[in-house]
Amino acid sequence: MLACERMALLVRLLCLLPSIELVSIFFDRQFCRLYCRALSIRKNPKAKNAMPIPILVLLEVLIVIALSRLVGLAFRSIKQPQVIGEIVAGIMLGPSLFGLVAPDLATALFPAEAVPFLNLLSEVGLLFFMFLIGLEQNPKYLKSNLDIAILTSHVSIIVPFSLGSLLALLLYPIVSNDSVSFTAFALFLGAAMSITAFPVLARIITEHNLQNTKLGTLALTCAAVDEVTACGLLAVAIAVTRTNSMLGALPTLIQSLIYIGFMMTVVRWFLQRLSKHYNRTGRLTQLVVSGIYMGVVASALITELIGIHLIFGAFLLGAAMPKNAALTRELAEKTEDFVLIFLLPVFFAYSGLRTQIGLLNSPELWLLCAAVLGVAIVGKYLGTYVAARVCGISNREASALGWLMNTRGLTELIVLNIGLSLGVVSPLLFTMLVIMTLVTTFMTSPLLEWTYPKWLIRLDISEVSSEDSELEDSPIAGSTEETGKKLLPNYRILVPVANPSTQKGLLRLAVALGQPAAGMGGDDLQSAAVHALSLIELNENYGFESTPVEADRIIQERRSKLSELIESLEVPEARKFVHPIIRVTNDVARETAQIAEIDRADLILVGWHRPTFSSNRLGGRVGRILGNAKVDVAIFVDRGREKLNNLLVPYAANIHDDLGLELALRLLVNSEERRLTVLRVAVDGESGNELSYDFQRVMDQLPVDVRSRIETPIVEAAEPIQAVVAASANADLTIAGTSREWGIERQTLGQYTDELAVQCHSSLLIARCYVKVRSHLASVLSQR
């Protein structure tokens, strides 16, 4: 293209694109040709009614972001990394699905003229994503078992790289051509087989609460070493591809080493001064951020001119940034939202447009695809497993480590796109390797849970932290099984605490249910335990908060707040019965139900909260806990009553009201100051509901001083709910079962009504029975 044409193109784009994008355009001949072709088409009279390219690109971006979010959330619901769903969304928009089902519409929405614009956006997204990956690299990951990690990581690269190079002998004549040297082809295929995606692996480790365990720290160290080594292999592969020989690549590699040294010394020294400036000011100004972003682009341009690739320069600057926790956090927060929400989905869509599953149009090609997948899985898993076993890692941990290192994710997709752009990877092989990427990443979480189940993770956590006090984490966990059973608390309450600063009343009620008051055996450690559960939900897939170091910081902050809440309890003796549990999760409701089942909780006591899109008190997360939990559940609607002396139980003779009555009797037995009213409502002259036979027997077993504090009036009313509402004006706590009489009933479509929850004057405890044979009273009655 002539210089004047190139200059004219740049001038026309100045009003449309950010300056950091113009550099890529200037050097992209293919983009310039396609852009000029698009301009000629738009000037064509036959195409005068066609949608302008800028408008079309914006429409494409709108579709891409919406679909990637939807599919990503769907994959999160099945416990898969959100990035896998976003990659699948990109493939769905390409010829593999959309182009197959509606080819005319696909051509209209994604014409060839618009594809270079998507490429441009995706390149900018990759630059800043690689900067974020470098920013998140932390020397802390290299402080644990470094010798074992180096051996394991390198073997986990050498084995799949060697197998990939052998596979290249079979694939080269079928999926490549003479314009690509076999050396470059083998290097790229071997590098593709060797990749471990650090961001996805870090996310999986954090979500499984492995970041402080031996397995988690070893996996992080191996992945960090793997990432550096794999980047070196990829740089060599790119240099060989561009120079077409190993000897010709030597100057490029030498220049790369010199630049790396420059970045890790001179540039790092300058950035350390920036860190000191941040410590003084406490904030990142727009001027500083713009300087950093300019540094990202400049570093990317230098590595491109050297002859490797743009992404290496961006990664290097991120790695050279000082690991000042506050600085890193603020810079990541300012950068990642736009990159992860807007730019990366465009990259996935661009990759999807280049993925053509239809090219695998014969059984022989599908067999080759299976061979690629098999080599990738076996090479990475066996290399990791054997090396870990040689280093003395247990069989189960070595197997789990092998599955973790098989995670490829977005890092693999970046490598594949580079190979396709350079022409060393054909569209057919690109499609095979994309399938391999999806399968190996998809299989990581289920195989990890199968190999290393949650009860083992809890044992690992108990070895490194005595602050989490689940049953496995308590001192009794080290005793014999027989002694342990004797020392276990007789009654266990699990209390999910979403916000420690506002849920003091919830914890106070849990302590009142669990422990007798002072003077009534309230110092008996064996009688009950309250587990204050604080779950931290990570909402974004590649957010900086999902890195293990940042997750640890968030956990420590939450632990501090939870400890303050426990220390704020008025009765000092009650604090020693409350044990905090802090965990990271991707599904609070499901994790709560699982912890309750594993820890053999007798009751889940959860606070009420208003769902985002509903006014129903028992919807949203509370409703999911009610649906998932296989133990009895009670929902507390707090009206701010500090004392719980006057208890009201509306009774309609069903299993949920029976549970409510049991809980009320437990509160009554635990304190001599409390009084209980069991309210039975007679409607239209009918007699009130009688207590069940089992409860008559329980009432007969109660001590005289307890029975004397119980009243069982019968009132006549046309509307039972209004009778309870009126009676609640004289109560501190009303305990009602989820039954039709009290307007708290699960309907056919899974919704809950909550009329009593809205109108009740006192605090309200809503009881839902799951286990018909319970022992909520056994522990307190046995002490009397």
pLDDT at 54 over 70: yes
Average pLDDT in the 173-195 region? 88
Closest CA to 32 of 4, 73, 58: 4
The most confident of the ranges 440-444, 489-493, 774-778 is 440-444
* DSSP E strands, 545-665: 578-585, 603-607, 632-637, 646-650
Average pLDDT in the 60-67 region? 94
pLDDT at 611 over 60: no
Predicted confidence at residue 484, as pLDDT, reads 39
Percent of the chain with pLDDT strictly greater than 90: 24
Predicted confidence at residue 474, as pLDDT, reads 40
pLDDT at 466 over 90: no
Band the pLDDT of 630: cuts 50, 70, 90: confident
Predicted confidence at residue 740, as pLDDT, reads 74
List Cα–Cα distances, 147 to 1, 150, 213, 558, in angstroms. Answer: 54, 5, 17, 34
Give a three-class secondary structure readout of 162-186: HHHHHHHHHHHHHHCCCCCCHHHHH
Predicted confidence at residue 744, as pLDDT, reads 72
The most confident of the ranges 140-154, 421-435, 754-768 is 421-435
Average pLDDT in the 542-551 region? 68
Residue 223 CA to residue 211 CA, distance in Å, equals 13
Predicted confidence at residue 613, as pLDDT, reads 46
Predicted confidence at residue 303, as pLDDT, reads 92
pLDDT at 15 over 60: no
Average pLDDT in the 444-455 region? 84
Q: How far is CA 215 from its chain centroid? A: 19
**DSSP states of 80-126:** --HHHHHHHHHHHTSTTTHHHH-HHHHHHHS-TTTHHHHHHHHHHHH
pLDDT at 487 over 70: no
The helix (H) or strand (E) run that includes residue 763 is: strand 763-768
Predicted confidence at residue 609, as pLDDT, reads 67
Higher-pLDDT residue of 779 and 166 is 166
Band the pLDDT of 365: cuts 50, 70, 90: very high
Residue 529 CA to residue 167 CA, distance in Å, equals 59
Closest CA to 441 of 414, 412, 398: 412
Band the pLDDT of 386: cuts 50, 70, 90: very high
Average pLDDT in the 31-53 region? 50
Q: Write out pLDDT tens, residues 636-677.
A: 988 887 788 899 999 887 888 888 888 998 888 888 889 998
Average pLDDT in the 478-501 region? 64
Residue 381: CB partners within 8 Å, gap ≥ 6?
Answer: 402, 403, 405, 406
Average pLDDT in the 415-433 region? 91
Residue 337: CB partners within 8 Å, gap ≥ 6?
Answer: none
The helix (H) or strand (E) run that includes residue 710 is: strand 710-711
- Measured N-to-C along each axis, helices 427-442 and 146-175 cross at an angle, to the nearest 10 degrees, of 140
Residue 694: CB partners within 8 Å, gap ≥ 6?
Answer: 658
Q: Exposure pattern of 595-633 as b/e (b: 16+ CB <10 Å)?
A: bbeebebbbbbbbbbeeeeeebbbbbbbbbbbebbebbb
Evaluated on CA atoms 112, 118, 120, 126, the torsion sign reads negative
Band the pLDDT of 773: cuts 50, 70, 90: low
The most confident of the ranges 332-341, 568-577, 693-702 is 332-341
Closest CA to 666 of 539, 777, 740: 777
- Measured N-to-C along each axis, helices 53-77 and 115-136 cross at an angle, to the nearest 10 degrees, of 50
Predicted confidence at residue 546, as pLDDT, reads 67
Q: Write out pLDDT tens, residues 220-245.
A: 888 888 888 888 888 888 888 888 77
Token pair for residue 781?
């009655």
Average pLDDT in the 54-58 region? 90
Average pLDDT in the 134-162 region? 82
pLDDT at 455 over 80: no
Average pLDDT in the 429-442 region? 92
Are the beta carbons of 616 and 549 closer than 8 angstroms?
A: no
Average pLDDT in the 721-745 region? 84
Report the relative pairing of strands 675-682 and 529-537 from DSSP bridges: unpaired
DSSP 739: -
Predicted confidence at residue 578, as pLDDT, reads 87
HSE-CB for 672 with a 13 A CA cutoff:
9
Three-class SS state of 528:
coil
Band the pLDDT of 688: cuts 50, 70, 90: low
Band the pLDDT of 58: cuts 50, 70, 90: very high
Three-class SS state of 495:
strand
Residue 753 CB neighbour total at 10 angstroms: 18
Band the pLDDT of 382: cuts 50, 70, 90: very high
Predicted confidence at residue 121, as pLDDT, reads 92
Predicted confidence at residue 504, as pLDDT, reads 86
Predicted confidence at residue 769, as pLDDT, reads 87
Higher-pLDDT residue of 321 and 755 is 321
Residue 180 CA to residue 703 CA, distance in Å, equals 90
Higher-pLDDT residue of 470 and 161 is 161
Higher-pLDDT residue of 205 and 26 is 205
* DSSP E strands, 476-609: 492-496, 529-537, 578-585, 603-607
Predicted confidence at residue 752, as pLDDT, reads 54
* Angle, alpha carbons 126-127-131 (nearest 5°): 110
Over the chain, what is the mean pLDDT?
Answer: 80
List Cα–Cα distances, 644 to 283, 389, 529, 636, 639, in angstroms. Answer: 47, 58, 20, 13, 11
